[in-house]
Amino acid sequence: MNINRWRNRALMFIFGGFFVMYFGVYSRSLLPYLMIIGGIGVAAGILLYFRFGPVNQSIATIECPRCGEMTRPTGQYDACAHCQQPLRRTENGDYEPYVASH
C-alpha cells in the first residue's frame, strides 16, 4: 500500500513536470525556467520509481485474511491492496488484521 502511494506520487511528479514544461510553449520568456522546473519534476519522479519500483519484487506475498487475495504489505502497519483491510505485523513476522485506534 505504501509503495503504491509512492508510485502514484512519482507518476504525479512526471506528469506535473511535463505539464509545467508544456506551459513554456505559451511564454517564450519563461520557457527556460519552466523547462528546468519541469525537468526537475520529471527527474524526481524517475528517481522515486527507481527507489520504490524494485522494492515491490523483494517483498513476501501473503494472503489477505479478509478477502483472500494475495498482497504485499510493507512495514509494521499496512493495508491490503485490494480490500484496504489494515494489517499489522506480529512478532513472529506474520500479518494479522487490526482496527486502528485514533
Bigger pLDDT: 78 vs 23: 23
| pLDDT tens-digit series, residues 40-76 | 999 999 999 888 777 666 777 888 888 888 888 877 8
pTM for the whole structure: 0.62
Give the pLDDT score at 91.
85
Q: What is the CA radius of gyration of the chain?
A: 19
- Phi (first) and psi of residue 10, to 5 degrees: -65, -40
72 and 31 within one domain: no
pLDDT tier, 102 (very low <50, low <70, confident <90, very high otherwise): low
Q: In this structure, are residues 80 and 70 in contact, taking their beta carbons and an 8 Å threshold?
A: no
Q: Give the chain's domain count.
A: 2
Instruction: Evaluate whether residue 102 is within a structural domain.
Output: no
Instruction: Evaluate whether residue 71 is within a structural domain.
Output: yes
Instruction: State the residue range of the domain holding 14.
Output: 2-56
Percent of the chain with pLDDT over 90: 35
Taking 80 as the threshold, does the pLDDT of residue 99 lie above it? Answer: no
CA distance 79 to 95: 10
52 and 8 within one domain: yes
